[in-house]
Amino acid sequence: MGTLLWNIGAFIVALGLLVAVHEFGHFWVARRCGVKVERFSIGFGKAIWRKMGKDGTEYVLALIPLGGYVKMLDGRVDELKPGEEAQAFNHKSVWARMAIVAAGPMANFVFALFAFWLMFMIGVPSVKPIVDEVRTGSIAAEAGLLPGMQIVEVAGEPTGDWESITYALISHLGEDAVTLKLTAPQSSYVTDKTLMLHDWQFDPDKESPISSLGIVPLGAKVLPVVAEVVEGSAAAAAGMRKGDKILTLEGEPLADWARFVGQVQSSPEQPLRLTIARDGSELPIELTPQSRQVKGKAVGFVGISPQVVPLPDEYRILLQYGPFDALWQGMHKTWSLITLTFDMIGKLIGGIVSLDNLSGPISIAKGAGNSADYGLVYFLGFLALISVNLGIINLFPLPVLDGGHLVYFLIEAVTGKPVSERIQEVGFRIGAAILMLLMGIALFNDFARL
């Protein structure tokens, strides 16, 4: 319950801030263009706080924190008083109206840049992108990657950490191949390796793009040694103790903790044969995982945690820069996210990326809570990511969004006359139906991931 409330709270803070940024973009440019703004609202529905500003704008916080709006004086819906024509939105030039509408998404991009700038000023803890293991028969193994190699470029794009590698790899989803530039183990010698991506597919809910290629990043070592035993658990009932080292599982040597976890999860209420090392002796153990329901499926659980050996400091890095370098890094990161998002939208439309990958408010809330758990730096990164996505979504050419309005204004600029209200109304209905369909798919995916 505490986690749920934390996620909801972080979600409300994140969404409220990003909506405020978006609407402030509209508000600021509208005021600069001489348009009268009657109301600036964060949220919809009943107002829980309101204040009339000296500028004549009513500022509102509403009950439902899932959006916001800026209400401008508009002769199409308001009865204009004598002399108010010059302050009405619809009486402004088509270029001024386009600037006002485009200012919302642009404000989201500027905020993402600011968040990344601040993030890089504070410093982002990271790990050198060194390959720890290459799985046999994987795409990486066929390309000739070896343990100890460090990835320095993906398709000519410099990569300083695993996150930048992940973004770079995703952008090549659906292509035939991508070339990596790597340094050899314990050497500055640089070599190129080509990953063949013809059959590359992965489920983002189960694995990362990097692991799906067969690459295991260098990180903390998880040993098959018991660090803790939960009281009353299956492991406690089997007599397992802290310090026990698991030598074999079902008669096979065990060196990988992940294999043990996978076997346990797939064997609820089924006895497993282990051999453990304790006080210099080897002992047979029969361990029967308890059953738990996860997403309507029975999953095994034994109640032990492994011993973790932290990554040595020599492999850790801090991505921290001065004000000007941080600004450059922020610009580069923001642009990379914008281009990657547009690329993913194109692949979604082309069927290369499945609609199963769409996420809705539940996934965003979980992401907000998780990033806030890790600290300010990670929450800033999350805010920047969502801000970029919010800006791009609002540029979709759907009449209910900013992008749809921009299409109408562009047609007006070309033809010299506005699009008829009847055509606009039809467009709004079609756009609303498409948007509701996409939101429905995203919500369905969210619930399927719970």
d(CA 396, CA 402): 7
Please tell me what DSSP assigns to residue 417: S
Helices marked H in 350-375: 361-374
Which residues touch 261 (CB under 8 Å, ≥6 apart)? Answer: none
Nearest to 305, CA basis, from 222, 238, 387: 222
Decide if 142 is catalytic. no
Count of C-beta atoms within a 10 Å radius of residue 366: 19
d(CA 65, CA 48): 11
List the beta strands (DSSP E) in 197-303.
215-217, 221-229, 245-249, 252-253, 272-278, 281-287, 290-294, 297-301
Up-side HSE of residue 417: CA atoms within 13 Å toward CB?
Answer: 2
Burial 39-54, CB ≥16 within 10 A → b, else e: bbbbbeeeeeeeeeee
DSSP-assigned beta bridge partners for residue 15: none
- Residue 139 in contact with residue 181, Cβ under 8 Å? no
Which residues touch 425 (CB under 8 Å, ≥6 apart)? Answer: none
Up-side HSE of residue 274: CA atoms within 13 Å toward CB?
Answer: 28
Which residues touch 223 (CB under 8 Å, ≥6 apart)? Answer: 245, 257, 306, 307, 308, 309
d(CA 60, CA 46): 10
What length does the chain have?
A: 450
Q: Is 136 helix (H, G, I), strand (E, B) or coil?
A: coil
List, by residue number, the catalytic residues. 23
